[in-house]
Amino acid sequence: MTAYQKIENYFNKESTFNLGINQLRSLLESTELKEEWKWSFPTYTLKGENVVSISNFKNHFGIWFFQGALLEDSRNLLHNNQEGKTQAMRCLKYTSNDELDARVVTAYLLEAIDNCKKGKKITFTKSSATFTIPTELNEVFTHNPALKNSYFSLTLGRQKEYAVHIDGAKRPETRIRRLKKCIPMIQSGTGLNDKDKK
C-alpha cells in the first residue's frame, strides 16, 4: 500500500471522529504544508521539517504540533500528554467533533508554520535518568534502519520505556521475546505504556 493510500484510508475509515479529522485535513490543505505518512499518522511538513500531525484515537482526536512548546498558547488549550517526558510536542485534543473551532486551530497552525520558517526549535535536554539501549535492540537496528529511525523519532521518555523493559529481563530468551513484542509498537510510533494513559 502506498503512502497516499494509507492517508486516504486513514481519513475515509469510519470512526467517531471522522468528521473532525477531515475538517483538520481541510484546514491543513489550505496551507503550504506537504501531506506525508509518518509513524502511522498523516503528518504535515515544511521543507522536510515536521510541523503537525493528525491523530484519531478511540476516545479523542486532535492535531499535534511538533514544536508546540514554542507556541504562545494564550488560550491555554495545548496539552502535553507526557508531562516531564515530552519536551516539544503539544496537542489540541478533542473528545467530540463539535469542540473543534477552525479559527482557533488556524491561529495555532499559522504560528507553528511561522516558527518553522524562522527555524525555531526546542533545544532538547538529556533526561536526568540515563539508560542504555539493549544489545539485542542495537543488533536489530543494524539490519533494520527504518526501525532505528522510528525508535529515535520517539520521545526520550518512550525510548527509555522500551530500553528498560527489554533490558530488565535477566534471561536471554525473555529479552528476545520482549523485543519481538516491542518492535511493532515502535514501528507504529506508540509508547510501551500508551494504552495505560488513554
Per run of 10 residues, the mean pLDDT along the chain (length 198 residues) is 95 96 97 95 96 95 95 90 71 96 97 96 63 88 89 87 88 92 92 64
* The pLDDT of residue 198: 47
Kindly list the domain boundaries of the chain, sorted by start residue: 3-117, 135-196
**Predicted local distance difference test score (pLDDT) of residue 118:** 95
For residue 157, which amino acid is it? G
User: Structure pTM?
Assistant: 0.64
Q: Which of 130, 132, 193, 129 is nearest to 167 (CA)?
A: 132
Q: How far is CA 24 from CA 37, 59, 121, 157, in A?
A: 15, 17, 24, 28
CA atoms within 13 A on the CB side of 163: 18
Q: In the prediction, which pLDDT does 193 show? A: 73
Class of CATH domain 3-117:
alpha beta
